[in-house]
Structure 1
């Protein structure tokens, strides 16, 4: 399993893979924990919205928090560059990449 992740993430050591997985786990837990107090502060409660709408709003609120926390926790664990590149790729989803066309002489 680590070999596939190392290849996909372009990392060299199992230690780095473990650190990256740990950063994802910490970030997910922290952002999920912060979601409720932020929704409470904004007066967004499940009983005042349709349940599906409540969770959509909550996810929209949590996503930017997750992005920031991912960079912070990644930096603490010495993996800022990896997570910076990861986030840049994440924001490119759905966007067409520019293909370079070789000109014939």
Structure 2
């Protein structure tokens, strides 16, 4: 299974793959900590309406995850990989939004 990741991401060593997977796992947890902190600052609580929580969740979580992915990846020596990954991810999001905009 891990060799599929190595081929897809054009990675040569197992160590680099382990570092990249570690960055993804740490970033997910860190993004949730950021979300919790921001929700606390804004005053969002358990009983707050989902109509407020869900959009705010997306507005906070998506950019913070992308930013943290680059920062943590850079600190662990994988800046080039994560910069290319970010460009590809953002490019896909932009293409999707353009397609949905053109349909309307």
Aligned residues: 95
Q: How does 1:19-38 map to 2 (within 5 A)?
A: 19-38=19-38
TM-score (norm 1): 0.81
Deviations 1:57-97 (A, max 9, x none): 2132111111111111001110001000000000111518x
- Which residue in 2 is equivalent to 1:66? 65
Secondary structure, aligned partner of 1:29: helix
TM-score (norm 2): 0.82
> Whole-Å Cα distance in 2 between the matches of residues 56 and 14 of structure 1?
38
Deviations 1:12-54 (A, max 9, x none): 111111000000011111111121110111122331212x651
- Which residue in 1 is equivalent to 2:75? 76
Structure (1/2) with the larger helix percentage: 2
> Whole-Å Cα distance in 2 between the matches of residues 45 and 92 of structure 1?
34
Please say which structure displays the higher CA radius of gyration: 1
CA RMSD in angstroms comes to 1.7
> Whole-Å Cα distance in 2 between the matches of residues 22 and 58 of structure 1?
24
